[in-house]
Chain A
Amino acid sequence: MGVITDNLDIWSQALVGTLVLFFAGGALALVLGIIVGAMRVSPVPIARGVGTFYVSAIRNTPLTLVFFAFVFALPPLLGLRLTGDVSLTLGICALGIYTATYVAEAIRSGVNTVPVGQAEAARALGLSFGQVMSLVVLPQAFRSVIPPMMSVFIALLKNTTVAAGFSIVNLGSVRNYLSERGENAFVVILWVMVIFVALVLLLSWVQRTLENRWRVAR
């Protein structure tokens, strides 16, 4: 326990770093993912093609490579100096762009779970594509999207640790700072694991609660 209480400053900084990466990356992923998910079910063939290309390209790219491209290759291109804030922003972009593909897939498969008759009935009433989606399909898809979406966010939480390899402060990089202070690396990493197991359990609990509250009543 001493490892934590003696170095509260570093642990709290690291926890804040992880939470910033998680929430900012998650928000970006959600916005981008909804756009791409909409593109993938839209009546515009070009938009569908672009969406499909984006998803299959990023899904076959390691997250570490996305981080590498953003943090090492982009700054010289844009003429940025690599300060702490810049690498944090780039890290958030990398996480968001990577996770957005999974969000888009979760949304698309959620739309697919709505029975065909619902959309058919809506069209029979003369609703347009926008109305079919916003009034009939999406409210129903939303419920079945919750469990896979939470799994995406649990994966995002674990993926924030990759930022540790790119000098962005988060729970994954605590070991660097604490080994400078002469702490036992083994104990430090065990504590990081405990924190992650606790955070993941927390998110799983949220997942179960939301799932029960919005269970599909069919």
Chain B
Amino acid sequence: MSSVLYDVPGPKAILRNRLLGVLTIVVVVGILGFLVWRLAETGQFTAKKWSAFTYTNVWTSILDATLATLAAFGAAALGALLLGFVLAIGRLSDHRWVRWPFTAVIEVFRAIPVLVFMFLLYYGFPVIGIRMEPYWAVVIALVCYNGSVLAEVIRAGVESLPRGQAEAGYAIGLRKAGVMRLVLLPQAIRAMMPVIIAQLVVTLKDTALGFIITYPELLFYAKYIGAQPTVGSPIVPATIVVGAIYITLCLILSFVATVVEKRLRRSARGDVAEPVQPLQQGATDTSLIVAQRGGSAL
């Protein structure tokens, strides 16, 4: 890999880089070694601590908890996408009396921490006579927050399109709704797909907040099994197992995002109008060449 930030290293620099590399390895190995030492010292590797994970019951419960996480994520993702479209279209409206309330709703939903919103739904609403399962509190809070974030993403996508796209739509006689539905939104969604999927990863991560309002998802189960004295209170092994499941789920979704992004970049030329990129004044030939190659500069 070459970078414009530094020259091809000479003998001195190679030596120094190697030293820094060794230093990095020493620090990382030191931290990992300390953790492993503490794990071994406190007996986390003994068979008793892991005995809980030899029972089929435990694994079926873990599967149930994973499914609970995925169920909340699925409903929240679908709802957030729908709400995102509705809010984005409202926000892009030409009428001020439509645009303002939508803008206000988006801003407020984005400013409130998701967890506090879940508290409101789960602990606050029963006071005014609305009771709901933790599942619905998790889903509704996630839908409202991620929906308003997605609305901003979609709006940014629509506004980044060249003006000529909308003008061409109007020129062939489409109405506002037609221009939005047939011309602007399809392009905006394609251009914003990686960001939209990245936001879905955030949604998946935030389902873990359900743990705090007693939604029986993965972390909730880890806490439960970690407090069972009959299997040796395996809180550390439980955290490791559940953490691995969570991270794997998120990594899969992130991987999908990168694949989509790569595909889009490859097929971008034909289908999507290039977003307006303000060319930096005073950009050098090199940066133009890099920009044309489609690679990152540094």
Bound-state Cα–Cα, A161 to B20, Å = 38
With A116-B297, A190-B124: A129-B5 Cβ-Cβ less than 8 Å? yes
Interface residues of B in 260-298 (CB under 8 A from A): 280-284, 286-287, 290, 296-298
- Min CB distance, B57 to chain A, in Å? 22
Q: Chain A residues with Cβ under 8 A from B296's Cβ?
A: 112
For B156, the chain A residues whose CB sits under 8 A away are: none
- Interface assignment of A79: CB less than 8 Å from any CB of chain B: yes
In the assembled complex, B165 has its CB within 8 A of some CB on chain A: no
Give the contacting residue for B120; candidates A68, A158, A190; CB below 8 A: A190
Within 8 A of A (CB), among B185-207: 201, 204-207
B7: interface (CB < 8 Å) = yes
- Which residues in A have their C-beta under 8 angstroms from that of B251? 56, 60
A44 and B298 form a contact (CB under 8 A):
no
Q: Given A50-B24, A164-B212, A197 and B111 touching (CB < 8 A)?
A: yes
* Min distance, Cβ B119 to any Cβ of chain A, angstroms: 5
In the bound complex, do residue A172 and residue B113 qualify as a contact, i.e. CB atoms below 8 Å apart? Answer: yes
Q: Interface code B205-219, partner A: CB below 8 Å = 1, 0 otherwise? A: 111110110000001
**B211 proximity list for chain A (CB < 8 A):** 64, 68, 165
Question: Across the interface, do A196 and B113 meet the contact criterion of CB distance under 8 Å?
Answer: yes
Cβ contacts under 8 Å, B287 to chain A: 115-117
Q: CB-CB contacts of B239-269 with A at 8 A, as 1s and 0s?
A: 1001100110011001000000000000000
B33 in the interface, Cβ–Cβ < 8 Å? no
Give CA–CA (A218, B44) in the complex, Å: 57
Indicate whether B115 reaches chain A with its CB closer than 8 angstroms: yes
Partner of A73 from the list B4, B208, B236, B282 (CB cut-off 8 Å) is B236
Known: A60-B250, A115-B283, A186-B124. A76 touches B243 (CB 8 A): no
A189 touches B119 (CB 8 A): yes
- In the assembled complex, the Cα of A128 lies from the Cα of B283 at a distance in Å of 22
CB pair B127–A117 under 8 Å, yes or no, is no
Pairwise interchain contact A76-B236, C-beta atoms closer than 8 A: yes
**CA A123 to CA B298, docked complex, whole Å:** 14
Contacts of B96 in A (CB 8 A): none
A64 touches B208 (CB 8 A): yes
Given A77-B39, A132-B5, the answer on whether A186 and B111 have CB atoms closer than 8 Å is no
Interface size, A (range): 35 or more
Does A43 belong to the interface (CB within 8 Å)? yes
Residues B243 and A119 in contact, CB atoms below 8 Å apart: no
B116 touches A68 (CB 8 A): no
- B222 with A68: CB separation less than 8 A: yes
Question: Does B13 sit within 8 A of A, measured CB to CB?
Answer: yes
Q: B4, B5, B108, B246: which contacts A61 (Cβ < 8 A)?
A: B246
- With A41-B3, A60-B250, A60-B254 as given contacts, are A120 and B25 in contact (CB-CB < 8 Å)? no
Is B171 in contact with chain A by the CB < 8 A criterion? no
**Is residue B223 contacting chain A, with contact meaning CB distance below 8 A?**
yes
Interchain CA distance A165-B235 in the complex, whole Å: 17
By a CB distance below 8 angstroms, the chain B residues around A133 are: 5
Within 8 A of B (CB), among A66-106: 68-69, 72-73, 76-79
CB neighbours (8 Å) of B120 from chain A are 186, 189-190, 193
Q: Which of A43, A57, A192, A218 contacts B116 (CB 8 A)?
A: A192
Q: List 29 A-B contacts (CB under 8 A).
A: A43-B13, A45-B21, A47-B20, A50-B24, A56-B251, A59-B254, A61-B205, A64-B212, A65-B208, A72-B223, A72-B226, A76-B236, A114-B298, A115-B282, A115-B284, A116-B4, A116-B284, A116-B286, A117-B284, A158-B113, A159-B113, A165-B115, A165-B212, A175-B124, A185-B127, A186-B124, A189-B120, A192-B116, A196-B116
Closest 4 CB pairs of A and B: A117-B284, A165-B212, A62-B208, A60-B250
12 extra interface residue pairs, beta carbon distance < 8 Å, beyond A39-B24, A44-B17, A189-B116: A41-B5, A46-B25, A73-B235, A76-B235, A77-B42, A115-B287, A123-B4, A158-B113, A165-B212, A172-B119, A185-B127, A189-B119
Binding site for A on B (CB under 8 A): 1, 3-7, 9, 13, 17, 20-21, 24-25, 28, 35, 38-39, 42, 44, 108, 111-117, 119-120, 123-128, 201, 204-209, 211-212, 219, 222-223, 226, 235-236, 239, 242-243, 246-247, 250-251, 254, 280-284, 286-287, 290, 296-298
